[in-house]
Amino acid sequence: MSSIIPQISVGLSIASILLLIALGLAIIYGTMGVINLAHGEFVMLGAYAVWFLQTFLGIGLIAGLVLVFLLVGFVGWLVELTLIRRLYDRPLDTILATWGVGVILQQAVRLGAGAELRYVKMPDFLVNPVHVMGYEESAYRIFIFVLAVALLLATYFLIFRTEFGLRLRAVTQNRDIARCFGINAARIYSLTFAYGAGLAGVAGALVSPLKSVSPDMGTNYVVDAFMVVVVGGVQSLLGTVASSYLIGQANGVLAFLSNDTMAKAVVFLGMVVLIRLFPQGLFAMRLRRS
Amino acid sequence: MGLDRRKFLKGTAAIGAATAAGFPQIWIKNSGLAYAAGEIKVGVLYSLTGTTAIIETSLNQATLMAIDEINAAGGINGAKVVPVVEDPASDPATFAQKARKLVVGDRCVSVFGSYTSASRKAVLPVFEKYNNLYWYPTLYEGRECSKNVIYTGAVPNQQQKDFVPWLVKNFGKKFYLIGSNYIYPKEENNVCKILLKELGGEVVGEEYVPLGHSEFSSVISKFKETRPDVIFSTVVGDSVVALHRQYKAAGLDPKKMPMASLTTSEEEIAAMGGEFAAGHFTSAPYFMSYDSPENHKFVEAFQKRWGKGKTTNFVSEPAYFQVHLFKQAVEKLGKKDLTPPAIREAAWGQEYKAPEGLVKIDPDNSHTYLWPKIGEAQTNGQFKIIEQSKEWVKPLPYWAYPGQVCTPEGLQQKKA
């Protein structure tokens, strides 16, 4: 019985990382319908950006987060401007194009920064664990959890409480009509893409001290991100939250009961079944009614 | 046109006949040929691109440095050693293809290569078919006995025989075995379990994570649940980095529950940061911080040749000394037939003062006598050597399989 609380916290911790990684993709995929296979590489760029800031400019992880967001967002903005924009009517080609962008980014980092693993320092005050309800918890994992929730709230606010969000939702529902009302759809799209990419960058920066930083780290994250978004339902922020929680807990519990190899296999199997039963994802239908 | 078609055909036929007649002679009597141009060709087969490129590049560099040293000192019996470098791109199929090129195309008398067991297994058929010789520098899981390989890395008995009893004595009998999910960790853990059984130890958990795994929170909560005295780790690659960082972030203490690893080297520590590695242990025959005149010379030469911040490690050191053992073997042969089987026989029993200490190729099984050491990782990224074997340790590649023994004729079944 004593293992229930630590178990929940393990699940929450995995879930918060999943949410962090998937949030940017949920925005790009959910609102713009762009299947962005370069998402993992944006995560990787974020990790390298924070490594660069730390090693060469002496800017710490937390202080650098805003810069990382702007830097990776800018890369996203460029990608949208030069490539994605020209492919909005050809979704299949977008998949191939973004995959190509991913390969280019990965190799560029390999050439520029080298193939070796890079070291990102954890902020000093977060290295040691803290006591919560009688249990030792990693301070850094709690920090990640808090930031994941904060970013979720910020994104929610942006989409549902600002004028930009209103326009974005209008363009999402019907681009042509929205344009008739004088909304600059192209601008909305490029800003949204940049925002999603920036979020991915922040996610990469945040996981870098806990995991490892290498040019091909994005490959795993892009799979996780798509898994979360597809299960949750493409157009629903709530769905993204719910599915990252679900997958995180399932992963945690299964890994505890058997092992990580098994957990991964079972979670993937569960997803296949789930998508078969709910092709739109868990939350898509309910959202439409409201 | 003075050359008509008929003459041309005759001419080529004659050349063809001459080659056909000459070729087998050269082929069978490899002698003379190797020295013909005053040079000895060897292959260097380490990946310079792909997943394992980082570590294999250091092996390539250590090998080339040793070859340069030999040539600077006048070569072998007056002949220069010429390295033929190929990049197998971390892909076993490419390894096999490049190995064939080096053996058949370039007629190398030996090839130095491989880091992963998968790549070694992939080139084996090539070396066995053409009866050539492969020099393999990496510590590995043992349980192999090829006539065409000289193994200069550690096998499980060399890394664990002193290490496990030492861990039991200093920390306790409860072990948690964690490894990456492939053959090497499983074989090492087999050996560990046998040793633990003899010592009355207990395995409280055994788990394998997928290669490249980076989310260890479940594993860590199992550590907390089972409270082992020692975490015995054979996790490899970037997972090592994630495991150490998450271990510390979760509040576990190396003083009470240290990780004892066979795979964590100076390279991984540089990537995770010394503060995350400090207090954990690794068993290996070589550490960069080892204090010996040979090692000082090796480290200095390596950094001078390849860059100031470069680290040497327990894989690049054998990659370096095995070239010197090759040299001694060829020297012993003199101007006689320089064939791979002759080199192999001459290599048996060769001794060399390597950076880790005096090593010897075991005539019984073509593996190498080594000097196991136990190192404790420090915050500066280096290891402090706390225990050192008092004598060199004989390699026993089939230690965990009592019915089998590796001999110069190949694997034999012992009759009980």
Is B207 within 8 Å of A216 when comparing Cβ atoms? no
Q: What is the predicted pLDDT for the residue at B140?
A: 93
Interface test with A, best of B245, B256, B275 (most A CBs within 10 A): B245
B54: nearest CB among A115, A251, A261 = A115
pLDDT per residue over B38-54, tens digit each? Answer: 889 999 999 987 777 87
The type of residue at B297 is: K
CA distances from B242 to A265, A283, B24, B283 (A): 21, 33, 56, 20
A chain contacts of residue B250, beta-carbon cutoff 8 Å: 129, 136-138
How many CB contacts within 8 angstroms connect chain A with chain B? 102
User: Over 80: is that where the pLDDT of B14 sits?
Assistant: no
Mean pLDDT of B81-87: 94
Q: CA A73, CA A220: separation in Å to the nearest integer?
A: 21
Q: CA A204, CA A48: separation in Å to the nearest integer?
A: 8
A chain contacts of residue B249, beta-carbon cutoff 8 Å: 122, 126-127, 129, 138-141, 210
Q: CA B185, CA B206: separation in Å to the nearest integer?
A: 11
Q: What is the dihedral of CA B51, B54, B56, B61, to 10 degrees?
A: 150
The band of B36, judged by pLDDT with boundaries at 50, 70 and 90, is low
Q: What is the predicted pLDDT for the residue at A216?
A: 84
Q: What is the dihedral of CA B288, B289, B291, B297, to 10 degrees?
A: 40
CATH of A4-289, one of 1.10.3470, 3.40.50, 1.20.5, 2.60.40: 1.10.3470
Q: CA B140, CA B188: separation in Å to the nearest integer?
A: 9
Q: CA A224, CA A24: separation in Å to the nearest integer?
A: 12
Is B217 within 8 Å of A252 when comparing Cβ atoms? yes
Residues with Cβ < 8 Å from B252, sequence gap 6 or more?
B220, B223, B224
B chain contacts of residue A3, beta-carbon cutoff 8 Å: 221, 225
Report chain B's mean pLDDT, rounded to a whole number: 88
The band of B21, judged by pLDDT with boundaries at 50, 70 and 90, is very low
Is A211 within 8 Å of B250 when comparing Cβ atoms? no
Is B241 within 8 Å of A209 when comparing Cβ atoms? no
Question: What residue segments make up the domains of chain A, in order of their start?
Answer: 4-289
Mean pLDDT of A11-21: 91
Mean pLDDT of B153-176: 94
Is A118 within 8 Å of B217 when comparing Cβ atoms? no
CA angle in degrees (0–180, nearest 5) for A17-A18-A19: 90
Mean pLDDT of A75-97: 90
Which range has the worst mean pLDDT, A228-242, B87-101, B133-147, B199-213?
Answer: A228-242
Is B271 within 8 Å of A116 when comparing Cβ atoms? yes
Domains of chain B by start residue, with CATH? 33-154+285-371 (3.40.50.2300), 158-284 (3.40.50.2300)
The owner of tokens 């439409």 is A288
CA distances from B253 to B177, B197, B224, B250 (A): 17, 26, 11, 9
**3 state DSSP class of B289:** coil
Whether the Cβ atoms of residue A225 and residue A25 lie closer than 8 Å to each other: yes
> Distance, in angstroms, between A223 CA and closest chain B CA?
13
pLDDT per residue over B393-409, tens digit each? Answer: 999 999 988 888 888 88
What ipTM describes this predicted complex? 0.82
Is B217 within 8 Å of A256 when comparing Cβ atoms? no
Using alpha carbons, select from A244, A225, A246, A243 the residue that is nearest to residue A283: A243
Is A255 within 8 Å of B218 when comparing Cβ atoms? yes
